[in-house]
Amino acid sequence: MYDPRELLARIDADAPWILAGFGLAMIFQTIWLVECIRLARRQRAYTMPLFCTLFWFAHDIGCVARFHEWFFVYDHWFMKFFWLGLLSAVVLEVVFLWQVVQYGRAELMPWVSARTFVLCLAAAQLASIATWELFKSIVNDPLYQFSPLLTLISYSFMGAALMIKRRSALGQNTIMWGSYTAMCVIWPITTGVFYGPPFRTWQYFAGAAVAIVGGVVMTWLVSKRSPMFNREPIREAVPVSSG
């Protein structure tokens, strides 16, 4: 899909612009994820969709585990910084998993014990790691530079699915979705401009458009201006006896 050495050379050639773009994206990412943690504690509900947590952890731990490639095989400053960034992301994803353990059992699997619920989460995470490694071997993204867009797109779909499942905007707000949307704009623009032809295909920009449009729509849906979803879960309707 791209030559890794050629891509690293492009990064060297435009390092200040690329670092500025990614630095701005990380600011919005930090706002987004910290707000997820803050809101979970306040509302006592997990805020990151479970699919995203499992997928992102599988993605990021795979990159972190490839320490030897980044520090010895490629031995390039950008991949070392990228490794450090994903290491910090893994820490946040552990926090999101812990939030699911704390707040998710009653919502997801109330019929099992706390221990069984944790074991189910662990099994799901291992399965996610195995599935991601298979997918990565198929798509051949050697430097993990295409896959971040996939992780962004997944939040657009799964965040909407979580809201529909709960029938409310519980665990989501405009700060989260606004900062996510800003990040979805900055990442593909930076990679599209400076990473070369493999990152300028219509498929790549179509994927970015899905994430951006999804973020804009969700920012409105979770806002107080939207009449479609309440802030709290809707109670199940109680049947009225005809007698």
Q: Model's pTM, two decimal places? A: 0.89
* 227 pLDDT tier (thresholds 50, 70, 90): low
**Average of pLDDT values for 112-141?**
94
- How far apart (Å, rounded) are the C-alpha atoms in residues 200 and 156? 22
pLDDT digits (tens, 9 = 90+) for 134-187: 999 998 899 999 999 999 999 999 999 999 999 888 999 999 999 999 999 999
- Is residue 58 within 8 A of residue 131, CB to CB? The reply is yes
pLDDT at 60 over 80: yes
Within 10 A of 201 (CB to CB), how many other CB atoms are there? Answer: 12
State the average pLDDT over residues 235-239: 41
